[in-house]
Amino acid sequence: MTWQAAAILVAGFVVAGYFSYRQHLRYARVVNQVAAEENRGGVLLVTGRAKGKLRGAVVLLVVDRRRNAVTRALAMEGASVFTRFRERPELTGPLGTLTERAPSKAVAKAAADAMTMVSRLTAGQRAAA
């Protein structure tokens, strides 16, 4: 391998790392923004993710514990570091049918992952109530 090929390879890794970092910053910005907008009693903010061979998904759900329903949902789905969160009104509604309303398999897996987080966060409260 020549030094030019090694330099191109290293440059590719640097560019990929930079774009991954930028995506992480966008993710953190959206989570903080939604947390600030939905900051009220009886509401949970949970995330779920699904990884695939080529495509993945991340969902951000605002769950009303009293109604046991999703009141706001955002999803980031794709194979690129340029994907962004988008509002997903089809995911709002009862928790029991959340995965059935998902528009793709990746979003369904991410929603199921988020639902496990909801059950973990509300486990002690159900027993006390």
Model pLDDT for residues 31-58, shown as the tens digit of each residue: 999 999 998 888 999 999 999 888 889 9
The pLDDT assigned to 128 comes to 47
Distance from C-alpha of 56 to C-alpha of 38, rounded to nearest angstrom:
26
The pLDDT assigned to 125 comes to 65
The pLDDT assigned to 121 comes to 84
CA distances 28 to 11, 35, 87, 101, 120, Å, are 26, 10, 16, 26, 22
Measured in degrees and rounded to the nearest 5, phi and psi for residue 91 equal -90, -10
Percentage of residues of the chain with pLDDT beyond 90: 61
Model pLDDT for residues 103-121, shown as the tens digit of each residue: 999 999 999 999 999 888 8
Pick left, alpha or beta for residue 78 (phi over 0 → left; psi -120 to 50 → alpha; otherwise beta).
left
The pLDDT assigned to 33 comes to 94
- pLDDT average, residue stretch 2-16: 93
Measured in degrees and rounded to the nearest 5, phi and psi for residue 48 equal -145, 150
The pLDDT assigned to 78 comes to 83
Residue 129 binned pLDDT confidence (cut-offs 50, 70, 90): very low
Q: Is the pTM here over 0.85, yes or no?
A: no
Kind of pairing, strands 43-50 and 69-78? unpaired
Do 101 and 90 touch, CB atoms closer than 8 A? yes
User: Within 10 Å of residue 29's Cβ, how many Cβ atoms?
Assistant: 11
Place of tokens 């903080």: 32
Opening angle at CA 32, ends 51 and 78, nearest 5: 25
The pLDDT assigned to 94 comes to 93
